[in-house]
Structure 1
Amino acid sequence: MRLARVELEQFRLYPRMVVDVPPAGLRIVGPNASGKSSLLEAVMMLATLRSTRASSDRDAIRWGSGEDYGLPPFARIVGRVEDDDGQTTIEVSLEADPATPGLKKRVVVDGQPRRVVEAVGILTAVSFSPEDVGLAAGSPANRRRYLDIVLSQTDRRYLFALTRYGRILSQRNGLLRSLGKERAAPNAASTVAQLAFWDRELVEVGVCLVARRAILVRRLDALASERFRGLSRGTLGLTYLNSVTSTALDHLGDGAKVGDLEQVLARDWTEVLGASRAEDIRRGVTTVGPQRDDLAMEVDGHPVGQFGSRGQQRLVVVATKLGEATAIREITGQPPVMLLDDVFSELDERHVGHLIAGVGELGCQLL
């Protein structure tokens, strides 16, 4: 897979720009604040259909956009993607309402409007910047978001489930807060009955997320640990930490089937929800589920975020990103586009060579 062309209009600091991308990729050079990272952000947005740098896609719209034409602020990204199956054009348009925080997003694929969940993953990409050391040293939310980005590009069912799970979780948490204000007894028949519907919905959709995350992490563990051996001493281990205590993930072998995992997870999670009902009502939030899970990253059994040096954390992320690119190629049959944002300044010559060799070995287009 490769990106053949990218067009930007009113995106970040670009009024308009068109770049034809060679098959091998591009080396982008320029002074600080000249738009190098913004170009890579736009490419990643074509893959995930959301900004991976900003908390809101609205922030990607160029300041003052639309003023010259008397239009609301807007931005537009167009990418032409080529792979073994042919050519696809993806267009992402953003339009902001100046009077509200609202944002309209429109996605068009080959001239036809598409929902976001139908267009994510047409282009697959792996992004790596110095800030990604937060994957090893940052909060669990960083690592959950990382897994969501990888899986959303490779598994459309996962993205559907992730979107639906967020809505269900919001509804259940709202009910928990109401029950807390009413001082409802956790085991009262009326309380159990009110929560039963949302509990079933939460489990039905949530097991889809947990099972797929666990299988991906097991794959990443094997791939990243192999890459790490070429970068540093020690043994890298990646483990999915599930907030729902379940036997489903204890013996996750190569032949593990998603359906079998989901069945055991559903049984165990239903029991845990019942046991945590009082605490959930007291706190007004759902205390177990994929929104509370984590990805453990350890070297020789020690958490790298707690005990690793900054350099070791960086090498763990390099190995993980190379493992991610390999996993995407194995799953989709196409190598992803690799986006490296100023990472060479953070690595010595030997490790730069290892990273470039790994990207070349995978056949990734490199920007």
Structure 2
Amino acid sequence: MAVSGARPMAAYASDAAGSRGRLFPEADMPPRSAFRRDCDRIIHSTAFRRLKHKTQVFVFNEGDHFRTRLTHTLEVVQVARSIARALGLDEDLAEALALAHDLGHPPFAHAGERALDACLKDHGGFDHNAQSLRVVTRIERRYADFDGLNLTWETLEGIAKHNGPLTGREGRGIGRYAGGLPHAIRAHSGLQDLELWSHAGPEAQVAALADDIAYDVHDLDDGLRARLFTVDDLAGLPLVGAALAEVRGRYPGLDVPRTVNEVMRRLITRLIEDVVGETSNRVSASGVACAADVRALGRPLVAFSDAVREEEKAIKGFLFPHMYRHPRVVRIMGDAQGVIRDLFAHFTAQPWDMPPSWQDDLDFSDTPRLTRRVADYIAGMTDRYALDQHARFFDSTPDLR
């Protein structure tokens, strides 16, 4: 199935002209749509720039060619726009959600997130999706009239629940949030109803699968570059093995770097085509006629087919032991978690060591607010800044390589 070329806007696409608006009303600014303005605000944010120096899997000093949070985000944008274009969805909204999806990630990838979550276990925990919402609604301070970026309801909804509903109809957390909603989600829910009980709109569902596609394919690429496994190790892996056999059959004797590039290119195309085909089938079967119908459907509209979903899970199943739990990666990320724990302990004990702007309006005796402020400060750090701060206050800082 070809996915190039734009379709007319689908009936079930989100409509920028009919957006539910912003928490703080603003006048329209043609010719940019409301969703295009969201993209632009995210791109110009401080949090977006910091993604350049935040870990995806490998920390910055392991090499210049591994993905960072920024390059990963840009790859998610490309995949999301491709899928949205093929389905006739709003590309700007899909892009905004792809741009924003990792803004809340702390330094050192999921290791940093686990460390902060443990540090905050008695104060609501830490969740990077919720922190992304906190970044764009509270932490960014660029405008005279409001904190945050004042993004549209549709973008905020997608940031909060692009992976699916967070609560049941009665408001109680479900799934991973059965024990309670993250602090940032609860705090924002008091200001704005994001309908946490429903699925997100179609563009948010596209962004979620684009994230899966991007990190599956590009973590394989980075793992090969880091020599954690070899091309031959992928020969028996569903989807990947078929692409590898096709490349080797068509280009016998091709060098390894080009072989890898050809395999990854085919893999991305195969996954995108499957999402477009399966989603088109679900649209026809469900009869959705507007974005509200997508939210009320009770199940995802944008999805892999059953067969490809299992094959995509097999890729994750391969990456977990061969990459994410590789002894080299585990050792480095264990050291990185220690950096986060040390910084959290130091700044909660001596908050005056944070920059003055992070101490504004802060009562040092208000423990819940203090711990959340420290977490916000650390979560916004780049890898390099976190290590620099650690070296400032501690005698020994690990060499993460």
Give the structure-2-normalised TM-score. Answer: 0.26
The structure richer in helix per residue is: 2
